[in-house]
Chains A and B, each alone.
Chain A
Amino acid sequence: MAHDWQPDFEQLVDEHQSMVFSLALRMTGDRGLAEEIAQDVFLELDRHLGKIESAAHACFWLRRVAMSRSADALRRRKVRQMDQWVEIKEHHGLQPEPRTSPLGGRLEGLLATLPDPQRAALVLRYQEDMTPEEIAASLDAPVATVKSHLQRGLKLLRAKAVIHLKEYVREKEYARGV
C-alpha cells in the first residue's frame, strides 16, 4: 500500500525511546535488560521501516514489539523481585515526579509483584494511557481478557497498597512513640 509518510529512524528513536525503555523496564524490572530490549526493538524497527505507514503505526508497532520482547525476556529470566526495583530507583537517578506520598514511591515495587499479564495491562493502561481495546490490540489478546486483567490487577494492587500504607502508618506511629 502506498503511503506518503517518510519515516526518519533517528527522529523515531528520539520520540519513542523513553516509551520503549519504560515499558521494558516496568515489565522486566531490570535496567540492563530493558536497555537491551529497547535496542533490539529499535533495530527491528529499522529492518521493518519500509512497512511502517504512519507515525501512529510506528508508535503502535513499537509498543507491541516492546511488550512482546519483554514477555520473551521474562520467560527467559524471571526477574521480579522487589529488591531490583529498589536498585533501579537508587541507580536511575531521575524520578518522573517527586514522590511526596508514602505510596507513590512504592507503587512500582508493588507493580513488580503482580502476575505478568496483569502487569502488562496496567503498564499500558496507566503509563501509556491506553484504552482496553488498544491494549488488546497491542498484546494480541481479547478485549474481555484485557479488561479482566485490568480489574484483577487493579484490585490486587489496591489491596497491596492498603497493606503497605497500614505498615507505613504503623512504622510512623512506632517511630513517634519511640
Chain B
Amino acid sequence: MEFEPMDDFEEQLKRSFQRWPAPPSLKHRLMENRRRRKERPRWFALPREVLVAVSLCVFAGVFAALYGGIASYHAEQQRKGEAACRQVMTALRITNHALNHMNKQLAAHGRGSQE
C-alpha cells in the first residue's frame, strides 16, 4: 500500500479541519437565553453614577457598623477592666483593714505580756 504523499499534508489538514456544523438546538437555546437575560431585572444596568453612589453608601454603612462594633467592644472591655480594678481595690482595703486590726491586737498582746 502506498502512503499518501506527505507533501500535501497541509492540504489534507485543511480538508480535515473543516468547520463542524453547530448543533441545531444551539441557536434556539441561545436566543432563549438571550430573551430571558433581557427580561431579567438588571439592577447592574443602572447608570454608573447611581451604582457608584450605592456602592459608596454600602461601603460607608459597613465601615460605620464595623467602627461602631469595635468602639463598643473597647468600651465594654474598659468597663470590665474598671470593675475588676474596683474589686481588687476593695479586696486590698479589706485585707489592709484586717491586717491593721491584727497588728493592733498583737501589739496589745505584746504590751500585756511585758507588764
Contact status B1-A169, CB under 8 Å: yes
Contact status B18-A129, CB under 8 Å: no
- Our pick among A43, A126, A165 for the contact of B4 (Cβ within 8 Å) is A165
Contact status B3-A126, CB under 8 Å: no
Contact residues of B: prevailing secondary structure: helix
- Our pick among A17, A38, A104 for the contact of B15 (Cβ within 8 Å) is A104
- Chain B contacts of A50 at CB under 8 A? none
- Chain A contacts of B10 at CB under 8 A? 126, 154
Contact status B23-A35, CB under 8 Å: yes
Give the interface size class of chain A: 35 or more
* Binary CB contact string for chain A from 111 to 128 against chain B (1 if under 8 A, 0 otherwise): 100000000001100110
| A86 to B45 CA separation, bound complex (whole angstroms) | 44
Which of A31, A94, A127, A165 has the largest number of chain B CB atoms within 10 A?
A127
Give A1-39 interface residues, CB cut-off 8 Å to B.
9-10, 13-14, 17-22, 25-26, 31, 35, 38-39
Contact (A104, B12) CB under 8 Å given A21-B26, A39-B33 = yes
Contact (A43, B33) CB under 8 Å given A17-B26, A165-B4, A172-B1 = yes
B residues near A (Cβ < 8 Å) are: 1, 3-4, 6, 9-10, 12-23, 26-27, 29-31, 33-34, 37
- Chain A contacts of B17 at CB under 8 A? 26, 107-108, 111, 122-123, 126-127
- Chain A contacts of B29 at CB under 8 A? 39
Q: How close is A175's CB to chain B, nearest CB, in angstroms? A: 11
Q: Would you call A59 an interface residue if the criterion is a C-beta within 8 Å of the partner chain's C-beta atoms? A: no
- Chain B contacts of A154 at CB under 8 A? 9-10
The number of residue pairs between A and B whose CB atoms lie closer than 8 Å in the complex comes to 96
Q: Would you call A46 an interface residue if the criterion is a C-beta within 8 Å of the partner chain's C-beta atoms? A: yes
- Chain A contacts of B19 at CB under 8 A? 18-19, 21-22, 96, 127
Q: Would you call A76 an interface residue if the criterion is a C-beta within 8 Å of the partner chain's C-beta atoms? A: no
Q: Name the residue on A nearest B2 (C-beta).
A: A169
Which of B4, B22, B34, B37 has the largest number of chain A CB atoms within 10 A?
B22
Please provide the 3 A-B residue pairs with the shortest distance between their CB atoms, ordered closest to farther: A96-B18, A17-B22, A22-B19
Contact status A43-B15, CB under 8 Å: no
Contact (A104, B20) CB under 8 Å given A39-B33, A43-B34, A46-B34 = no
Q: Would you call A83 an interface residue if the criterion is a C-beta within 8 Å of the partner chain's C-beta atoms? A: no
- Chain B contacts of A94 at CB under 8 A? 20-21
| A21 to B23 CA separation, bound complex (whole angstroms) | 8
Can you give 7 A-B contacts (C-beta < 8 A)? A21-B20, A22-B22, A26-B17, A96-B18, A126-B17, A154-B9, A158-B9
- Chain A contacts of B18 at CB under 8 A? 96-97, 127
- Chain B contacts of A111 at CB under 8 A? 17
